[in-house]
Structure formats: C-alpha cells, structure tokens
Amino acid sequence: MTPLTQLSRRNTYGQRQVLVSNVDTALLVMGLDQDFNLRRLERYLALARLAGVTAVVVLTKADACADAASRLAQVQAQLPASVHALAVNGLSPAARDALAPWLIAGQTLVLLGSSGAGKSTLTNTLTASDAQLTAGVRSGDERGRHTTTVRSLHRTHEGACIIDTPGLRTLRLDTDEAALVGAFDDIASLALHCRFRDCRHADEPGCAVRAGVAPERLRNFHKLQREARRDTLNAVERKQQVQQWKARGRAWRRRGGLSAATSPPPARA
Ligand SMILES: Nc1nc2c(ncn2[C@@H]2O[C@H](COP(=O)(O)OP(=O)(O)OP(=O)(O)O)[C@@H](O)[C@H]2O)c(=O)[nH]1
Ligand SMILES: [Mg+2]
Ligand SMILES: [Zn+2]
C-alpha cells in the first residue's frame, strides 16, 4: 500500500532515504541549549511541510534556560504564524499537558531532531514510562551521544502513537526548487505581491518578500534553493553522463571493439 505521508531526505550520495511513513504530526524537538538553531529548524519544518505533515516545534530544556520565553518569541516571530511552537521541560509531566492537543487517539506523532535534543526523554514523559534510554549531552559542546539508534513505536494512554527516532546528523532535503517554495508558505504568498513575476527576491526593486521576511530566513531559503537546484542538476548530469558513456561504448563497438585502432597494441608472441 502506498504510504499516505512520507518524510524523506537525501543521503550523502543524493539518494532518497525515507525517515518515516504514515505520521500525522512531526514534533520538531530542539533544545534551548547549544542545540538551538533557527536555520536548522527551518530545514526540519520544510521536511514536514514537503510531506504534508503538521509540524509542532517543541523547544526542550526550558527549565534550564534563562531566556526561554524570548527564544520562543524569536521562533514565533521568524516562522509563519501557522506553525505552533512551545517551550517545555521534557522531564516534567506538564509537557504532556502542553502537547495534549496533538496526543489524540489514533494519531501518530514522530519525534525528530538532533541527538541530545530530548526526543527520548519526551517519549518517556508522553508515555509515562522509562522505556527509552536517555543520556546526558557532552559537557564541552552540549552535543548528544547518539543514544537512540533505531526507530521505535510507543503508545500513550490517550491512544496516540509516538515514534522515537535516532538524532539526525545532517538533513538534506529531498525536494526540487518548485516544491521548496510551497514549504515556505510565507514567502510563497508574499511573492505574489513582488513587482516582477519572476522575482528571485535578491536585489529586484519592489520585492515584497524582502520587505516582509526576516533576512536570515530569506538567506536560508535561498541556500536551500541552491541545494535543491544542485541536487536536481546532479540528477540530470548523471543521466547525461550515462548517455555519454553508452554512446561511447556503441561507437567503440562499431569500430570493432578491441581490434580497433584505439585498442592497446597486441601483446608480443
Ligand atoms: N533539564 C532538562 N534536561 C533535558 C530535557 N530534555 C532532555 N533533557 C536531557 O538531555 C539529555 C539528552 O536527552 P535524550 O532524550 O537522550 O536526547 P535524544 O534526543 O533522545 O538524543 P539521541 O537519542 O542521541 O538522538 C538527557 O540527559 C536528558 O535528561 C529538558 O527538557 N530539561
Ligand atoms: Mg534518543
Ligand atoms: Zn521578490
């Protein structure tokens, strides 16, 4: 059966890798420690949007962060208003109350984020169990230790399903330029008001996107666009290369293969 939703990324070879299928909501988990990175969060958001999955930003470690409220406000200010974002202490049962609107019977939620962000901690809190192993982040740079290595499915007492996943090291989007615009809906709708229909929102006059979107967000969008273009170009280039090789092979065979002038001189008897 074809999955209804599929979150996928590209691996280092540019091939599609499915992260998870058939989920209703993606909880994008990010720590309010050194893990905090709005540009990375935008990648995760695009990942969910491209798959047509509702995304909820869950900022963890609010209990250990002095300016949790202002960081949350920053997230809300820079992302489209349609994106829900909340800050929690993943170790406290209050996190379950905060996420109650999405913990509905029959719904499947996946936890995504870097290693050490607190996905397994949250899984345990949401399921009121200690099924998932968790581990402290490294003291120097607060990076995680890749504690979780396989995906696992858990059930909450409300009847929702939670999928805990291993922390991702990199997230290369599996998309092309056109689809990417759809994942940035604030940019897509502002673009309708740019003076030029083919505005790239770079230095054109009368650009509504530049006027209305945070410069860092627009820069990140352009970066993701370049990545998508490069990936698409690579696919075309790969195809061209294969065709070139085939043509060369045909020409070589037409010339008589090994006996042709291009072949190495015959070994002496
Ligand atoms: N104070 C505090 N600590 C937290 C919170 N969430 C997670 N932690 C701690 O952060 C560390 C990493 O948490 P994990 O749940 O193992 O992180 P993970 O995202 O599952 O990491 P990987 O399995 O490596 O991908 C643990 O020491 C947790 O106790 C939080 O909201 N507040
Ligand atoms: Mg984990
Ligand atoms: Zn524009």
pTM: 0.86
Closest by CA position to 55, among listed 81, 30, 35, 84: 84
Q: How far is the CA of 46 from the centre of ligand 1 (A)?
A: 24
Q: Specify whether the CB–CB gap between 213 and 190 falls below 8 A.
A: yes
Please say whether the beta carbons of 116 and 60 come within 8 A: no
Q: Is the CB of 144 under 6 A from ligand 1?
A: yes
Which residue owns the Cα nearest ligand 1 atom 11?
Answer: 136
How many angstroms separate the CA atoms of 26 and 8, rounded? 13
The pLDDT of residue 251:
86
* Gap from CA of 135 to ligand 1 centroid (Å): 7
Residue 236: per-residue pLDDT: 75
pLDDT of 258: 61
Question: What does the block give as tokens for 168?
Answer: 């991702």
The torsion angle over the Cα atoms of residues 77, 80, 82 and 88, rounded to 10 degrees, is -50
C-alpha distances in angstroms, 43 versus 12, 123, 137, 138? 16, 22, 23, 24
Q: Which helix (H) or strand (E) holds 152?
A: strand 152-155
Can you give the pLDDT at residue 261? 45
Looking at the CA of residue 145, tell me the nearest atom of ligand 1: 24
pLDDT averaged per 10 residues, the chain (length 269): 86 89 97 96 96 97 96 93 95 98 97 97 97 91 92 97 96 92 93 96 96 95 92 74 83 74 46
Closest C-alpha among 19, 23, 54, 3 to residue 173:
19
The token duo for 240 is: 């061209």
- Per-residue 3-state assignment (H helix, E strand, C coil) for 34-89: CCCCHHHHHHHHHHHHHCCCEEEEEEECHHHCCCHHHHHHHHHHHCCCCCEEEECC
pLDDT score, position 59 = 98
Most distant CA atoms of the chain, gap in Å: 86
Q: Can you list the positions of beta strands (E) in 82-147? A: 84-87, 108-112
Question: Which residue minimizes the CA distance to atom 27 of ligand 1?
Answer: 136
- Check if 61 has its Cβ closer than 6 Å to any atom of ligand 1: yes
In three-state form (DSSP H/G/I as H, E/B as E, the rest C), the secondary structure along 1-17 is CCCCCEEEEECCCCCEE
Q: How far is CA 14 from the centre of its chain?
A: 14
Query: How far from 167 is each of 112, 115, 252, CA to CA, in Å?
Result: 7, 4, 49
3-class secondary structure, 19:
strand
What does DSSP assign to residue 127? Answer: T
Q: Both ends of the chain: CA-CA distance in Å?
A: 63
Q: How far is CA 12 from the centre of its chain?
A: 14
Determine whether the shortest distance from the Cβ of 175 to ligand 1 is under 6 A.
no
pLDDT at 181: 92
